[in-house]
Structure 1
Amino acid sequence: MAASDVTETSSYASSTVCKICSKIKGIYVCPRCNILYCSLLCYQSELHLNCSEAFYKECVMEDIKSQGRDPFPEKKMNEILQQLQGNENNSNIDSDDDNDDSVEDLHERLRNVNLDDADSVWEQLTPTEKQEFYDMLQSGDASQLVVSWEPWWLFRKQKTLIQDVETEQVSPHPVYEANCPTVKNDVPLLSQISKTVAAPCVKYNILNVLGAYCYTTRFMNGEHHSMPAEASNILVNLSANLNFNHTYDSAVLALEAVAHEVVHYVWLGGSQESVICMKNDIECILTGPEDSNCSFYLKASLSDIYRLMSKAKHSKSIDPSAVKKTGEFTKRFKEHSLPSFVQKDKLRLVIKKLEYYLSWSRDHADEICCLRL
């Protein structure tokens, strides 16, 4: 090799290495300073602190400005709350009747309204109901109205050292299968559809998809199938493997990529705790419900993602001919709205990739289940 070639190779390597840790290849570019970095940890490091803090400061300032344009300033909100509290104290005797009438009235107003259309529902609320909703959203009390969903993959069958033979019930299906998504078993083995050896990166690419799946399902509180277009949109945007065909050569990079996207999409409200929770969820999925069936949760997860994408593909929400209106609710709470839905052509490609991953998991599930994050 000529000296010039060595110099060019060295120059190229140095130009693609992370500019913060200077250890591994940089795969992300900071949108503010254009510096190349490799992970979320490097992005938040002291060497990049001035830029990252400025980014978060801008997010906070944008939020403050949006609140400043709200027609209900703090003083007015306090006056309304005090007035509502006074009215409540003065009408304790008839409170039950009033509540019943209010519920019936609201039920009547929402009778022919599409409950999946937030703008249509918002138009039917009274000014007092809108204010109560806004107060609840601002205080964080709205989250208390929803029962927190417990993921099915957290279940782990306890080992029984002593079993009473007389009371033992033999069942063809373990109990935990009833609480899990049905495994899609109608896909062929990978060895039956391809003679090419699967690339080593496949297992890490699947980890990237699983990370996005865990975060999405928790964000949707387990209701992802009731809003398939919205849920698939979040999942695809969090998984660079599904979104841009990015590949990974380690588990760390695969999961760091999801964490990076969570931070990038401010509307997801990502935090360090939520990222840690995502990684713990993946460990539970890879461990499985029991040692004798450790790959079951992996296959169930991929099957669930496959069905979610299939539902989204047939959803009217992503129909390009549909005109999406922007109502009062969407304008007022735009920080909680989603970006454009993933289109059907892209969903078809995603579904094909998931079919490949399902086939791969039937032959090579042990390769990914033995990974330790």
Structure 2
Amino acid sequence: MEEEEETVAEVCGLCLVSPSRYTCSRCNVRFCSLPCYRSAPHRSCSEAFYRRAVLEELRRRCPFADGTMRDILLRDWQSRAAPGAEKCLAGSQDEEGDGSLELEQSSGALDLRGDLLEEGERQLWARLSPQEKEEFQRLLTGGGIGALVPEWEPWWERHKAAQLVLEEGVNEEGRDREREDAIQEAAVIKQKRGPALQKCTSEVTEITGSLLQGKENMPPIAATIPRLSTLTHTPSPLVPFSVINVLYAYTFSLKLYNGDISDDFMLQEFCETVLGVSGVLNSRQVFNSTAEALQAGVLAVLSGRYTSDPRRPSEAMKSVAHVLMGENKASQKTYTLAALSHLAGLLRNGKKQLEKEHKKKLFEAQKKCEFLLAWANEHEEILMFLAVEAQTEFRIHRDGLKEIDIITKELEKAWGGKKPPEKKVLIQELD
């Protein structure tokens, strides 16, 4: 799949509605987006693409990590090896049973592994039995093939072991007062922060996620962040909620694509998803609270049909809390700065791949991210309050989904199915 740079945009050859932006490298049909690429008329090409991706992933993994695969490859090597190899193979297996010698000590096995890694996807596909091929096709058609691809571990879920997040039980009146003060004047927050937190209950918990040391895979923070005073004289007190909305779109989109936006096509899809989810970046929407900013993101995800998993929209709320928490209390703004820097860079790179009429939208979104980056860099003390609110909204949304699920199951049980029974006609008019 490669993007064509044409001055005249053709109509998508699959949906016949939207302007086409990409060309399938297999059949050369022009298409507009990932849903069209995955649609039924184009299933043969899309399945071949995903099959190749999965096979490459399987080939990348060490074939000797699994005992079953190792035995299969050993038998294949035995059938193709030179005379005398059977004896060598038997000795190798006996020593392995004693745990005294690894298979890699055999030079023949090393050559075998090298040969297998060099084989193309057709050879690897040919090694599967008819039953394995049938199972693979079933997974591919049903969508279960995604389970074979390792799930991406977001970098923002890694915190120092001592990092804590306030849970429910916060004094509502005190929290609202402190939030208002935080938005209006950062200096006031620094003075009132201690007494305000003492009003909270002692109920605290470590945020879910891996409590790991270090910042592996964290995107780099922009080398130069302008002073906020050079961008605006008096920033709006509603800017924090714009940060919330943008972080929601960023974390949701990155997890949606499993953290892989390495090629141009996926980068374009990522940028389009971010703009579709974030009202701040797409239409200059303004929010008055953390709840409003997060709920707008959830509604955009549901209306845009980006995912069929009902947990993803609410999980993105928790991801926002992770980012706002930072790595630890000493460097709380680190993750927020890294996320906004990363998003601004992705929008900048995505802009280079678009036609002229679409570049303006990404350019404006990039500049908004850079403004929010400057704001977050100078308002670190507000981020914890935003993290607490995001965590609370996640919990409320999660509990609401649980209640809906319980009610749905009760109704289905009463109906005897997923739909209510048809009402019986009580009075029927006779001719």
SS of corresponding position for 2:286: coil
**2:148 matched to which residue of 1?**
145
Aligned to 1:235: 274
Q: Which residue of 2 aligns with 1:319?
A: 355
- Residue 220 (structure 2) pairs with residue 182 (structure 1): yes
Distance 2:262 2:377 in 1: 24
Cα distance in 1 for residues equivalent to 2:254 and 2:362: 18
Task: Tell me how many residue pairs correspond in the alignment.
Answer: 232
Please show how residues 1-373 of structure 1 align to structure 2 within 5 Å.
96=76, 103-104=119-120, 106=122, 135-159=138-162, 176-194=214-232, 196-226=233-263, 227-266=266-305, 268-315=306-353, 318-319=354-355, 343-371=358-386, 372=388, 373=390
Give the counterpart letter for 2:238 in structure 1: C
Letter matched to residue 265 of structure 1: G
Measure the CA separation in 2 of the matches of 1:237 and 1:134. Answer: 32
Query: Quick one: distance in 2 between partners of 1:349 and 1:319?
Result: 15
Can you give the 5+ residue segments of structure 1 that lack an aligned partner in the other structure?
1-65, 72-91, 109-127, 161-173, 321-341
- Contact 1:286-1:369 within 8 A present in 2 as well: yes
Letter in 2 for 1:292: A
Deviations 1:161-201 (A, max 9, x none): xxxxxxxxxxxxx962443111114021102443x211111
Give me the whole-angstrom Cα distance separating, in 2, the residues matched to 1:207 and 1:154.
Answer: 17
Report Cα offsets for 1:120-165 as digits up to 9, x if no partner. xxxxxxxx999876532333321112100110111111249xxxxx
Say which SS state the counterpart of residue 188 (structure 1) adopts. Answer: coil
Deviation of residue 224 (structure 1)?
2.6
135 and 298 in structure 1: CA distance in 2 versus 1, 3 angstrom threshold = same
Asked whether the 8 Å contact 2:221–2:338 carries over to 1, the reply is yes
- Which amino acid in 2 is paired with 1:301? A
Bigger relative contact order (CA 8 A; separation at least 6): 1
Alpha carbons of structure 1 residues 188 and 142: separation in structure 2 relative to 1, 3 Å: same
8 Å CA contact 1:225–1:231 kept in 2: the answer is no
Cα contact 1:209–1:239 (8 A) shared by 2:
yes
Q: Which SS does the other structure have where 1:223 is aligned?
A: coil
Contact 1:200-1:249 at 8 Å conserved across structures: no
CA distance in 1, matches of 2:333, 2:149: 31
TM-score for both structures, normalised by structure 2: 0.47
**CA shift at 1:364, angstroms?**
1.7
Contact 1:191 1:363 in 2 (8 A): no
**1:359/1:312 Cα in 2 relative to 1: closer, same or farther (>3 Å)?**
same
Q: TM-score, normalised by structure 1?
A: 0.54
Q: 1:131 to 1:231 in 2, by over 3 A?
A: farther
Q: Which amino acid aligns with 2:269?
A: E
Q: Cα–Cα, structure 1 residues 107 and 201, in superposed 2: closer, same or farther, change >3 Å?
A: farther
Against the structure 1 CA distance between its residues 67 and 355, is the aligned structure 2 distance closer, same or farther, given a 3 Å change threshold? Answer: closer
Structure 1 residue 285: Cα displacement: 0.9
What is the distance in 2 between the residues matched to 1:188 and 1:178? 26
Alignment RMSD: 3.7
In the alignment, what sits opposite 1:8? none
User: Could you tell me which amino acid in structure 1 is paired with residue 288 of structure 2?
Assistant: D
Q: How many angstroms does 1:365 deviate by? A: 3.0
Structure 2, unaligned runs of 5 or more: 1-38, 45-71, 81-114, 125-130, 164-211, 391-431
The structure with the largest alpha-carbon Rg is 2
